[in-house]
A = this chain, B = another copy of it.
Amino acid sequence: MADVRTALAEVVGEEHVLAGDAVPPEYGRDESLGVTGVRPDLVVRPADAGQVAAVLQVAGEHGLPVTARGSGTGLSGAAVPRPGGLVVSFERMNQILEIDTDGQVAVVQPGVTLAELDEATAAHGLVYPIFPGEGSASIGGTVATNAGGMHAVKEGVTRHHVLGLEAVLPTGEVIRTGGRYVKTSTGYDLTQLIVGSEGTLALVTEVTLRLRARLPHRAGVLAPFPDTEAVTAAVPRLTGGGLDPLVLEYVDLLAMSAIMQNAGLDLGVPQEIQDAAGAYLLVVLENRSADRLDEDVQTLGEQLAGLGAADVYVLTGDPLRKLITAREGAFWAARNAGANAIVDAVVPRAALARFFAAVPAIADRHGALIGGCGHAGDGNVHLSVFQPDEDALAKVMDELLAAAAELGGTISGEHGIGREKIRHFLALEDPAKVALMRRIKTSFDPDGILNPGVLFG
């Protein structure tokens, strides 16, 4: 241990190695509800890719498991280290290296947060359009989990915007993948393989991100519907209706009430409409022209009315921002309300109705309260499960995730497998694919030093 510490201090400097009791417990946790934190033996804070490579070499020589850490806002325990392990914190690698306005790309270090990047791109009239709902998340963390968020219905997810990486392989080499272009056909796409690999293949030390023009005009429409069936039937009509919504969110009554209370929001929906509502849709449109936006909001209102909305409430400016922030905070609202687990399943958009129809029976069967909201436009359902009994909770999760998988969906849309969903991943995924992924893992990391225990258990 003293040897390792000395070797690491030689790489990053004494002041950037934390060991034993000097390690703040925060370095052992993320925000997942189901994974207990583990304080690492060691934390290093490298300054550049060369130091990261040297740290990995030390770790390899001493057989030390290595877990990368950004802001620690993950929801599946992928940043929770192995006992006795080493955490590589990217807090010092937090520079926006370039906003290339001609190329419409940003080049950033992994410790940059989404909020910092948003501020920097705004100054150039550009935007990195992926908003997973937590501005303090690090870019490195969002790359590791392939973070999604509310804009995926229009913009796709992190992987669709990562054009290139600098990454350190566990074998010590620093590689560069991709570049400032969207097109390439030159061998296997290492960029896309590393995105979403939850720190198990390589440590990302620089990210090249695709930006687009920031549109100045935005409006949201909140529409109460009589029931969930009407909402799920409306979703494909709205995604296919030509207006190309930036956000298309579903919020059930439980989630709406929690969001409103948590945010202290009053959206001006009359009490009798609230009483008759069974669920809500929130649709946000963007445009570079205010006139076109007005026209589109008008069209959207007509579409929603035709699909059975009880009424429509147009929100812009501050009220819209507040509602979006409150919706982004739905996880915190659920946590504050005592939720025991959060579901992050995806089902094909056309199968949303069948998924929602299956939920009440699962809840009843195991005495759970289940409610939530979700990115209806892209089929990503976040449910909060209230059931403090561990065995019953496990059964609820098993059945909800199996239902998603049976409908052709997936057990994690944007939070990742981490340490939390390994059991479900191994139970529901094709063993041939898991075996192939293990072989790919070995092709990157023959000694298994990167984030052991994550993904494969």
Contact = CB atoms under 8 A, between A and B. Distances in A.
Interface of A: 100-105, 145-148, 152-153, 156-157, 159-160, 169, 173, 175-177, 179-190, 192-193, 195-197, 201, 213, 236, 239-240, 242, 244, 288, 292, 346-350, 375, 378-380, 408-417, 425, 429-430, 432-434, 436-437, 439-444, 455
B185 A408 contact: no
A430 to B, nearest CB: 6
Contacts of A288: 242
Given A185-B145, A213-B240, A443-B443, A190 B378 contact: no
A152 B183 contact: yes
Nearest to A432: B173
Interface of A is mostly: loop
A181 B437 contact: no
Nearest to A236: B102
Contacts of A408: 179-180
A186 B443 contact: no
25 contacts: A102-B349, A103-B349, A104-B239, A146-B184, A147-B185, A153-B182, A156-B160, A160-B182, A175-B433, A179-B408, A180-B350, A180-B408, A181-B346, A181-B378, A181-B379, A181-B409, A183-B380, A183-B414, A185-B415, A186-B417, A188-B193, A190-B433, A190-B437, A436-B444, A443-B443
A196 B213 CA distance: 29
B192 A192 contact: yes
A455 B185 CA distance: 11
